[in-house]
Chains A and B, each alone.
Chain A
């Protein structure tokens, strides 16, 4: 890499946001350098996880025909876990398993290689195994990147390095992350034969199930997830960093608890753990989003903390694709004017609004504090389980009416006013 070489755009990180940005820019004929620190695209990336399809389809039409997706999700479940029981809310919707689909389970090592390949096909130069250490700054303007002693210059640097967001910090666009705004997510990839997954989750070939798991986290704010891949299951936990410290709980202990819970143990029985991965997740919502651009610099995907959790859907990857495309389009506009100042790049923010990303994040701005309410991850899951167990049980004793059962189980755990207040919170947040 020659020091005097100058690119139109340098994109840091060949994940979903970075490769999408590079793809859109290269397709328009710009000189794009896409830098990835892993040995290949995807080597450093992990997800729970499912990617919502329709937004991705706008950038990569019919991507499922060529991309390495695992399963089209047609069974959606929210599970409240009690000590020895579980209450499930299940949606079975075979219609969501037809084009343009709703969501796919994916594995990033494969998926990210595909999307980086799209950027390369479009004409972007992908270099792997190169870590960007610093930004080249001049009078507060970003002029390029540094890797070791190498310097590379560009009109614009798009930062798509992921959730650690180190360059955004170096560009002066954000302060320190707060432990209460960030969770650590860990995942075990558990291999099972494809037919076993089909049978166990009652899905047809190519179709899959997703589970959001609530409760059973030793009082730590967070929850779990379980997704079916083609011939494996992704099982994981997401736990707020500050609460792991407060409760002195280790996150892998929570995953061990999950694995022996009667609801989960049957689903993963006989499986073979093949990988253990981890990632941070920005859960602070719109309040946590840093400044998104400065002179010669844009941040996309999870380095910009773009994540929407509305309890039913947890969106990160499709936002990465959409924000990568929006960043690229903002750069294309700036290129027309040959002006890469912050004010010229500010079109990025309006493009993120037009893509409903910032507008949705604003709409769900109350969800983070709702999810921080201890009753939601400590009291209510257990309450749902114990009440349902009693309502479905018959004993040779006088029966109580349902509401009385609920009140009795609430005693000492949650007052009626708490519950009403929380319901109002749910109404406002969602």
Chain B
């Protein structure tokens, strides 16, 4: 996945546009974010959810999966103007 994302151009913001409510997330058994994110932004490390907002393709899949099949712990907003993915082909 790193190799795949390495092909892309990003303008990385110093602040994250993704926040995860830890309490809600810990109660979630399904953790749909782990399967649906095409950039594997969400991962489990020692049983805890970690996320790398820098890799985000801004597709919005996690918002729908987390709300609809998880606990709604993912709070996703658009990155600040100009930051995030920069598609050169699209």
Contact = CB atoms under 8 A, between A and B. Distances in A.
A277 B64 contact: no
A130 B83 CA distance: 10
B81 A112 contact: no
Nearest to B68: A179
Contacts of A248: 35
A39 interface: yes
Nearest to B5: A276
Interface in B1-58: 1, 4-5, 7-8, 11, 30, 32, 35-36, 38-40, 57-58
B69 A277 contact: no
A72 B64 CA distance: 35
A41 to B, nearest CB: 10
B64 A252 contact: no
B84 A184 contact: no
A189 B89 contact: yes
A249 B82 contact: no
Contact of A108 (B79, B84, B87): B87
Interface of chain B, main secondary structure:
loop
A147 B81 contact: yes
Contacts of A166: 77-78
Nearest to A239: B36
A52 B7 CA distance: 29
Nearest to A237: B38
Nearest to B32: A245
A242 B58 CA distance: 19
Given A133-B77, A275-B7, A177 B64 contact: yes
A44 interface: yes
B1 A164 contact: no
Nearest to B31: A245
A251 interface: yes
B35 A45 contact: no
Contacts of A177: 64, 67-68
B89 A252 contact: no
Contacts of A251: 36, 38
B15 to A, nearest CB: 12
Given A242-B68, A250-B35, A46 B90 contact: yes
B65 interface: yes
A39 B86 contact: yes
Contacts of A92: none
14 contacts: A37-B82, A43-B86, A44-B84, A44-B87, A108-B90, A109-B88, A128-B81, A129-B81, A164-B78, A245-B36, A273-B4, A276-B7, A277-B8, A278-B61
- Closest 6 pairs between A and B when the two form their complex, measured CB to CB: A108-B90, A129-B82, A164-B60, A278-B59, A179-B68, A278-B38
Given A128-B81, A274-B89, 18 more contacts: A37-B82, A39-B86, A43-B87, A46-B87, A107-B89, A131-B79, A164-B78, A178-B68, A179-B69, A241-B64, A242-B65, A242-B69, A245-B32, A245-B35, A250-B35, A251-B38, A275-B87, A278-B59
Interface of A: 37-39, 42-47, 107-110, 112, 128-133, 147-148, 163-164, 166, 176-179, 182, 184, 186, 189, 232, 241-242, 244-245, 248-252, 273-280
